[in-house]
Chains A and B, each alone.
Chain A
Amino acid sequence: AQSVTQLDSHVSVSEGTPVLLRCNYSSSYSPSLFWYVQHPNKGLQLLLKYTSAATLVKGINGFEAEFKKSETSFHLTKPSAHMSDAAEYFCVVSEWPGRRALTFGSGTRLQVQP
Chain B
Amino acid sequence: DGGITQSPKYLFRKEGQNVTLSCEQNLNHDAMYWYRQDPGQGLRLIYYSQIVNDFQKGDIAEGYSVSREKKESFPLTVTSAQKNPTAFYLCASSIDRSGGAKDTQYFGPGTRLTVL
Contact = CB atoms under 8 A, between A and B. Distances in A.
A31 B101 contact: yes
Given A42-B109, A43-B90, A43-B109, A101 B45 contact: yes
B106 A97 contact: no
Interface residues of A, number: 30
Contacts of B92: 44
Nearest to B9: A41
A100 B43 contact: no
A49 B106 CA distance: 12
Contact of A44 (B50, B103, B107, B112): B107
B42 A100 contact: no
Contacts, number: 65
Given A42-B109, A43-B108, A44-B90, A101 B42 contact: no
B112 A100 contact: no
Interface in B4-24: 4, 6
Contacts of A83: none
A100 B103 contact: yes
A29 B48 CA distance: 21
Contacts of B45: 101-102
Interface string A53-94: 000000000000000000000000000000000000010001
Interface of A: 4, 9, 29-32, 34, 36, 41-46, 49, 51-52, 90, 94-98, 100-102, 104-107
8 contacts: A43-B6, A43-B109, A96-B100, A96-B102, A101-B48, A106-B42, A107-B40, A107-B42
Interface of B: 4, 6, 31, 33, 40-45, 48, 50, 58, 88, 90, 92, 96, 100-110, 112
